[in-house]
Amino acid sequence: MQSIDIIISSFISPYPFPLYFTMTAMDTLEEEALDRLQMESAVESAQIDSLPSLDEVEDILGYQFNNKGLLEEAFTHASLGKSFSSERLEYVGDSVLNLLFTKQQYFEYPDLPPGALTRLRAANVDTEKLARVAYKHGLHRYLRHKKPLLAEQIRQFSKEIQRYPLRSNGLVDVPKSLADLVEASIGAVFIDSNSSIDTVRTVFKDLLEPVIRRENLEIHPVTQLYEVCQKRNLKVKFVDLWKESTAFDVFVDDRLVGRGSCSLKKEIAHNRAAKDALDNIRRILDEKDNSRNLGVCSAHR
């Protein structure tokens, strides 16, 4: 009779052993998950606490913020997961920067038509130009983010731009976060100074140097290649091999004259192929011109 009572009690018990065991295991998992979250939170707090003071940014800019929150917002990337990020200030800074260069170039080049002015402005506000500004002045060291690959991307960028002192025209991989940082900084100064364009111009005038001007504005390699070949009635053909070998081949009149590759971005591979073809086609055309001139000289003897 006692054994029957034990069996019956095991069925009617509100906490039979299997259920109790499951609940205990779940409690353990929840505790472990909570511990992980607390550890991650502690690591994140330590990382943020270890960042250089944003007061140093004010020294770089030569501007003291009335609202320090705007400065923090400008240097907080969306990847950090905060309730605020730099994106809204980037939006403001992009518009202000375009206005600054529009005003400057309008008075500096009274003879340039709108199309030429637009190309000149674009060269001064593009992603590569602004990323160079951020790296040159060390602003990237203060960016608060959770982008594990950004440090390596910046290292590669700093190495590649040494070959192109002013501008690569789309030949290097650019960390967009650096350009966004400059735009956000401009937006922050603009808002903090009660929307003063003159204050922004004063703060960023030297930081944005060197400014690309009409005399040193280079044409994009793809555009240059087509222009050179059109003058000679030569046919240009790009062959897309990017999926197979991250490369592009360039043929001029069915002759292979250039190749470019980039595993990160297809557009860069395309631009590099155009640049390689442009260098080679110029040498080929020079050789043809020299041969033709020699032939003419021989005929006159």
pLDDT of res. 286: 73
Asked if residue 189 lies in contact with residue 200, where contact means CB atoms within 8 angstroms, the answer is yes
Long-range contacts of 108-113 (CB under 8 A, 24+ apart): 109/214, 112/214
The arithmetic mean of pLDDT across residues 229-251, rounded, is: 95
Contact partners, residue 169, CB within 8 Å, separation at least 6: 218, 219, 220, 221, 271, 275
Residues 109-136 have pLDDT tens digits of 999 999 999 999 999 999 999 999 999 9
Is the peptide bond preceding residue 210 cis, with omega within 30 degrees of 0? Answer: yes
Domain 54-208, CATH: 1.10.1520.10
The chain-wide mean pLDDT, for the chain, equals: 86
Task: Tell me whether residue 154 is exposed, middle or buried, using C-beta atoms within 10 angstroms of its C-beta: 0 to 12, 13 to 18, 19 or more.
Answer: buried
**Residue type (1 letter), 28:** T
Q: Give backbone dihedrals phi and psi of 85, rounded to 5 degrees, phi first.
A: -150, 180
Domain segments of the chain: what residues?
54-208, 221-294
Q: Rounded to two decimals, what is the model's pTM?
A: 0.77
Residues 4-58 have pLDDT tens digits of 454 444 444 454 545 554 555 556 556 665 656 555 554 454 455 567 789 999 9
Question: CA-to-CA distance for 26 and 24, rounded, in angstroms?
Answer: 5
Asked if residue 90 lies in contact with residue 188, where contact means CB atoms within 8 angstroms, the answer is no
The arithmetic mean of pLDDT across residues 232-258, rounded, is: 95
Pairing verdict, β 236-241 and 255-261: unpaired
Instruction: Please tell me the class of the 221-294 domain.
Output: alpha beta
